[in-house]
Amino acid sequence: EAGTRSSDPACWKHRPCLLRLPTECSNGQRRTDSGSSESLPLNDDGVFSFESDLFVGIAWIRVAGTADDPHGTYFRGRRRRMQATIQGQFREELSFSEVLTGQAYQKPLQNLPARTLVGAVMSFVQKLSPSVKSDLTGVRPFTLSTVAATAQAMCVSRVGEEPDIQSEVKESTRLLGGCFDLDTTPSSAERKKIFSCACELQAHTYRTDLVYTLDFYQDRIDMASYSLDLGFMKLDLSRYTNQQPVQIMARTVSGQWLYLFEVWHEKMLEENKTRPRGM
């Protein structure tokens, strides 16, 4: 365990990546099993548990191309490069419109390309998720969309009936009621379209007596090379992120974290001469 806490990437089990909790995060976020917060499980290491003031649950996160799992069984035959399954309960009721996911940084991005390319990036992101809101040039850049309109799969269960998160998560939203409580419930794509409407988001609430299982995956950020694939070109993220890691997160509109996990890449340490705080 001591090796994984080292700032030397040669000691990272999941090289070139390190998954960890941030050292500074409000809302009482902490890991609740016996493992280290400075090196969270990845891939076949399995599930870890966590809590914050707003959410309590478990997570299973997988990244393609790491040293311990270079040909990852989960990723074989798929374009996906990173996947995260989150399961748990809300500690207070929140409107679907309040709970966001994406990237939200505390420092400006650096070395931004020409404005036309930045515009192309924002247009590209908008096509991937029509409900996304982005500002990449501000003092605190962000790209955020609602969890309900973003998750590739959502399963809403009664306590004790939740699925195993180490199996494929299947869409199951009947307990949301309304148009979801029909003989044929909406598909994942239909749910995303429904929740692209602000009025539908405001009409639904995350309940404290239900268990939410959320599956997220994407094929654009490749953590093995720390690059963003725009389709027509790839951007080396270490040039632009200003020593800020990729985030796996959910937060409220007001900035309260439900969960926040950082994905560091060794290239950040080599090129920026920085270290995750606390390492």
**How far apart, in Å, do the first and last CA atoms of the chain sit?**
13
**One-letter amino acid for residue 143 of the chain:** T
Q: Which residues contact 169 (CB under 8 A, 6 or more apart)?
A: 85, 153, 155, 163, 213, 214, 215
**Which tops the pLDDT comparison, 123 or 96?**
96
Q: What pLDDT was estimated at residue 96?
A: 98
Q: CA nearest 87: which of 146, 27, 160, 34? A: 160
**Which tops the pLDDT comparison, 118 or 93?**
93
pTM, whole model, 2 decimals? 0.90
Q: What pLDDT was estimated at residue 93?
A: 98
Mean pLDDT of 150-161: 97
Q: What pLDDT was estimated at residue 129?
A: 66
Say how far apart CA 3 and CA 15 lie, in whole Å: 12
Q: What pLDDT was estimated at residue 3?
A: 34
Mean pLDDT of 143-150: 95
Q: What pLDDT was estimated at residue 5?
A: 41
CA 244 to chain centre: 15
Q: What pLDDT was estimated at residue 269?
A: 83
Positions of E strands within the chain: 17-20, 30-31, 48-51, 55-63, 82-90, 94-95, 99-104, 133-135, 142-146, 153-158, 205-206, 210-218, 221-222, 227-229, 234-236, 246-252, 257-265
Q: What is the pLDDT of residues 104-139, one digit of tens each?
A: 999 999 887 767 666 666 666 666 666 788 888 889
Evaluate the CA torsion angle 240, 127, 82, 146 in order and state its sign.
positive
Mean pLDDT of 144-158: 96
3-state helix, strand, coil in the chain (%, to 5): 20, 30, 45
Q: What pLDDT was estimated at residue 155?
A: 98
Q: What pLDDT was estimated at residue 76?
A: 85
Assign 68 a pLDDT band (cuts: 50, 70, 90). confident
What are the structure tokens assigned to 260, written together? 């926040």
Mean pLDDT, all residues of the chain: 88
Mean pLDDT of 57-78: 85
Mean pLDDT of 172-182: 94
Decide if pLDDT at 22 tops 50: yes
Q: What is the pLDDT of residues 35-48, one digit of tens each?
A: 888 999 999 888 99
Q: What is the pLDDT of residues 204-261, one digit of tens each?
A: 999 999 999 999 999 989 999 999 888 778 889 998 899 899 999 999 999 999 999 9
- The length of the chain in residues reads 279
